[in-house]
Amino acid sequence: MPLAMNRDVFITAAITGSGSTQDRSPHVPRSPEQIANSAIDAAKAGAAVVHCHVRDPESGVPSRKLELYREVTDRIRASDVDVVLNLTAGMGGDIVFGGVESPLPTVAGTDMVGATERVAHVAECLPEICTLDCGTMNFAEADYVMTNTPGMLRAMGQMMTDLGVKPEIEAFDTGHLWFAKQLVAEGILEPNALVQLCMGVPWGAPDDLNTFMAMVNNVPDEWTFSAFGLGRSQMPYVAASVLAGGNVRVGLEDNLMLDKGVLATNAQLVERAHGIIENLGARVIGPAEVREKLGLVKRAPKG
């Protein structure tokens, strides 16, 4: 296929994630203040979009508490830095089975709630974007399953659309794209969908370029896509995604290192990605252009 490089690229910074990375780097933010400040620094470095999870401020364990999301949102919105806010809606679908001989009952770590509760912080904070993990998947852990049934995704997707918040489809494999196209066909998601291609997450799509291009080739022409790779693949996927016609995601959610033995900050990862994009001959665009491109509206959280 001919090269279809994207010449106007936006960077998403994934600030903290929900993995157990809080004790592996002092730069992984925990408190709402730390998360917001790291997001603001990433925006100053060139990120047009910041993708935020929240954590318990003391332990660093991932959280779904609405008040933590609200504080992060308020701090970012009150700053003098403009950035598109993207909040996760991926939590609340976690099953940890009891083991291969006694899978039920489920054990500690299981967190299963209904669609309305999974989207409650989105309804409160009204970000421009929130994520929609478009399928169920085994992750690296032996007995953990990320659970997103078709019925749950239809319900959450419709709630997001009704709220005027654009879902960012998280596609961890080609089947997730297949179902996302079904959500568009059913009118649950808008035709100009936004998708994040998540490469190299065990056990989804591996991060080889053949698989990546299979993912890219399954994205409809009228959609906007971005992509990321994990760890040492993060920066190569900045180049790969731009060359394939997409946008990029970097950040501490996906990679802790700037160079071998050197722990990164979110701002440093954004700066590195910014340089790669410009050296390829593309232009990094800001939040105002992203809103225009994706049809987003910046709104204040509910009073």
> What are the structural domains, with CATH classification, of the chain?
8-294 (3.20.20.70)
Does the pLDDT of residue 33 top 90, yes or no? yes
Instruction: Provide the whole-model pTM.
Output: 0.96
- Check residue 142 and give its pLDDT: 80
DSSP-assigned states of every residue in 121-161: HHHHH--SEEEEE-S-EE-SSTTEEE---HHHHHHHHHHHH
Long-range contacts, 213-216 (Cβ 8 Å, 24+) = 213/1, 213/244, 214/174, 215/171, 215/174, 215/177, 216/244, 216/245, 216/246
pLDDT digits (tens, 9 = 90+) for 136-187: 999 877 899 999 999 999 999 999 999 999 999 999 999 999 999 999 999 9
The string of pLDDT tens digits covering residues 74-118 is 999 999 999 999 999 999 999 999 989 999 999 998 999 999 999
